[in-house]
Structure 1
Amino acid sequence: MSSDLLVIGAGILGLSHAYAAAKRGLKVKVFERSATPLGASVRNFGQALVTGQPPGQMLDLARESRDIWAQWAQVAGLQLKRNGSYLFARTEAEEHLLQAFCSDRAQEHGYNVELLQGAAMKDLYAGQFRHHRAALHGKDDQQLYSREAIPALVQYLSQEMNVKFHFSTLVRDVEPGQVHSTAGSFRGEQIIVCSGHDYQTLLAESMAQLNPQTCRLQMLRARPTLNLNLQHALLTGLSCVHYGAFADLPEAAAVQAQILRETPHLHEQGIHLLISPTPHGELIIGDSHHYDSDPSPFNAEQVDDWMIELAEHTLGCKIQVVERWQGVYGARGPGPFSFVRAAPGVSAALMHSGVGMSVGPALAERNISSLWGGAR
């Protein structure tokens, strides 16, 4: 039996496309080479950030994705924290940057933020973070536990949306109207390849024209020695030179100069601290950034040590590492994402940055809308 849409890859982009099509009443099949999603979509922080996105298309996508995540949390039972994030200013330069952001860009583009300073800063978490100069509360930011959220979304799509999944199934080839896999051949009106950082198995020639790379990240799961009861995602001013909402502001130059002058190793290793609480009282901590066509499989203990030091200073307490792993995502293409029409009825959806959880749901909605429009 022919399907309307065949999706290759059960990461966040693949599942988002499947959802956008299924809610239109379309018949959807999803193929995933492993028994459960194991790529970028479950190795990340689970931060769906609105605040960090630059004005324009990415900010719009993050806001639209925020609403979709809220829908999924309601219907699929995802644990979704909707009370935002805190970005801490540790230095005078970082504080000035956050002040400039709030007084200008945040107002112009409607970022839902509040800058905590002075007494408000001392009251935050009973004074646990009073050693920082200020905190930007990004009120629209959301956070989830990807390892549980992605399987829950798969279950919802399968049981409630009639999406058919083929796990442990390698798709060997795609052509207009047909997918050839280890489970047989399947017919579909449209085929969308959401293969993450795999640029060689499917549509390799089309992907090669984008000149993409892969980003490898060192990441940790840890227990704090204090019961922080953390209910927000945490970032520091290091993120201001990484995220587009801040990085092009004039005040960011002083932050970058201070990093290069005082902690050049953080710049060299692409380290900017993110901390996400899990539903189980632990913290996901990272990350570093290493780019290549074939990233090294070997982690450097020194990089982990630097991240642990940053985390302990930010949290104001010691942590105990319980797990280490490599994050990974597709990176450095012609823009933050691509939707490539490789052949009639055959497309590839690719992220070129680590914000798939933040913008992927709305990006898929737009892609499916471009192919089918509204509900059938």
Structure 2
Amino acid sequence: MTTTPHTDVAIIGAGILGLSHAHAFARRGLRVTVFERSGTPVGASIRNFGMVLVTGQPPGAMHALAQASREIWLGWARDAGLHMRRSGSLMFARSSAQAHVMEAFAETRAREAGYDAAMVSRAALNDLYGGRFSKHHAALHGRADLQVFSREAVPGLIDYLRRAHGVDFRFGTMVRGIDNGVLDTTAGEWRAEHVVICAGHDYLSLLAPELAAIEPRVCRLQMLRVRPAQPFALDHAVLTGLSCLHYGAFSDLPEAAALHEEVAAQEPALLEHGIHLLASPTPAGDLIIGDSHDYGDDPSPFNAASVDDMLLTLAESTLGGKLDVIERWQGVYGARTGTSDAPFSVLRASPAVTGVFMHSGVGMSVGPALGERVVSHLLDGAALPKL
């Protein structure tokens, strides 16, 4: 007689959200099995900039989650040997309107809400990287921000969880259905006391009715890996003041309205395509740059050359030099319609089955702490973050 394999916890999805939940359960001594349909993670968690962006999160629950996630990432970097940059982020103002938003943030919200960020002095900006960024109006240093190289960090974290915590990974295994803690998979049935679904932007395979009710969407992003024609040792993640229109730490400040009007009048295509430059250095000295935002029910497979050109032009202007493209790809993450701006959902389908889904591109920034909070909720009855 064949016995159905049993695990204390089944995690569906080996992206950063699934791995965060696996870590939180495993460190409490539970047996954890992670099911991933692909042979290796290929979704949002390896296609991104690797930014653990604390500075950009809106005040309150999301900022607190990012701060807590930062500490978890530092522990993972130490214990798993992950490559990590700790110099923080630099946000450069290309106009006085961008500078005004950053200055207002530094003078008010950063102090009131406890952000570890400050304006860079004019003298320091002029000297930064040999004067490469001196043409900018101002710069904000997000000192708490971290950066990893996602396509190496995620596999490294998987290896660490397997080695140090005994997490069992079942790659190439799709979970087709769940009934009372019994998982129907392409490798046979499994039983689990807790099932946590972290399936990214897959809204049809599992929990389809619950997900349909929250009206999910998909955001696709055009991404580039570039090599400076004249290499320089960038050790910070780079943003421009355009990010003040995208991230909640800045976007509701009164000064952001004037910035929006400026961009709408002078560079409307940037708003149309949701472009706000991000640049992350890789361990090899290349840069990951992007991104654009295109929302829909499915991620279109077709990239627009004009969007890549806008990104390159903006990056070369910001970074001060020619960039050669060596890779192009699509980023992708789950989003929601305009009926809600909630950045994530925790769906209790049954006492044994919980779905956790991100609806924004900040999974690397808040996912580790969100996993801890959800596991504390499931095992100890602790409250979930209030948004």
Is TM (by shorter chain) over 0.5? yes
Structure 2 residue aligned with 1:188: 192
Distance across 1 between alignment mates of 2:35 and 2:343: 25
Aligned to 2:225: 221
Q: What displacement does 1:373 show?
A: 2.8
How far apart are residue 344 of structure 1 and its match?
Answer: 2.2
Give the equivalent residue in structure 1 for 2:245.
Answer: 241
Counterpart CA distance in 2 for 1:101 and 1:117 is 15
1:297-316 map, 5 Å: 297-316=301-320
Match of 1:330 among 331, 334, 337: 334
Residue 61 of structure 1 is matched in structure 2 by 65
1 CA distance for matches of 2:180 and 2:235?
Answer: 47
1:197-276 to structure 2, matched below 5 A, reads 197-276=201-280
SS at match of 2:249: helix
Aligned residue runs from structure 1 range 65-76, under 5 A: 65-76=69-80
1:361 maps onto 2:368 in alignment: yes
Give the match's secondary structure for 2:300: coil
Query: Residue 179 of structure 1: which of 162, 167, 183 is its match?
Result: 183
1:217 counterpart SS class: strand
1:344 maps to amino acid? P
Contact 1:175 1:346 in 2 (8 A): no
Q: Which amino acid is 2:262 matched to? A: Q
Deviations 1:232-272 (A, max 9, x none): 00000000000000000000011111100000000001111
What's the offset of the Cα at 1:212? 0.7
Return the alpha-carbon distance in structure 2 between the equivalents of residues 175 and 268 of structure 1.
44
Which aligned pairs between 1:14-163 and structure 2 lie closer than 5 A?
14-163=18-167
Q: After superposition, what is the alpha-carbon deviation per residue over 1:23-67, rounded to whole angstroms, capped at 9, x for unaligned? A: 000010000001100000000000010000000000000000000
Q: Which blocks of at least 5 consecutive residues in structure 1 are unaligned? A: none
Q: Normalized against structure 1, the TM-score is what?
A: 0.98
Question: What is the alpha-carbon distance in structure 2 between the residues aligned to residue 263 and residue 62 of structure 1?
Answer: 31
Alignment size in residue pairs: 374
List alignment gaps of at least 5 residues for structure 2: 382-387
What secondary structure does 1:227 align onto?
coil
Question: For residues 24 and 117 of structure 1, what CA distance do their matches in structure 2 show?
Answer: 46
Give 3-state SS (helix, strand or coil) of 1:246's partner: coil
Alignment correspondent of 2:284: 280
Q: Which amino acid aligns with 1:326?
A: Q
Quick check: 294-303 or 274-283, which moved more? 294-303
Distance in 1 (alpha carbons) for counterparts of 2:336 and 2:242: 20
Partner Cα separation in structure 2 for residue 81 and residue 348 of structure 1: 32
What is the CA distance between 1:116 and its match in structure 2? 1.2
Q: Which of 346, 352, 374 does residue 359 from structure 2 map onto?
A: 352
Residue 347 of structure 2 corresponds to 340
Hey, what does 2:377 align to over in structure 1?
370
Runs (4+) of structure 1 exceeding 4 A deviation are none
Per-residue deviation, residues 166-206 of structure 1 (Å, max 9, x unmatched): 00111111122111101111100010110000000111111
| CA distance in structure 2 between the aligned counterparts of 1:38 and 1:165, rounded to whole angstroms | 15
**Residues 299, 332 of structure 2: 8 Å contact kept:** no
Relative to the length of structure 2, the TM-score reads: 0.95
| Structure 2 CA distance for aligned equivalents of residues 156 and 112 of structure 1 | 30
Letter in 1 for 2:162: S
Which one-letter code corresponds to 1:331 in the other structure? A
Cα RMSD of the aligned pairs, angstroms, is 0.9
Residues 28 and 163, structure 1, Cα contact 8 Å, conserved in 2: yes
Identity across aligned pairs (percent)?
58
The separation in 2 between residues aligned to 1:295 and 1:34, in whole angstroms, is 18
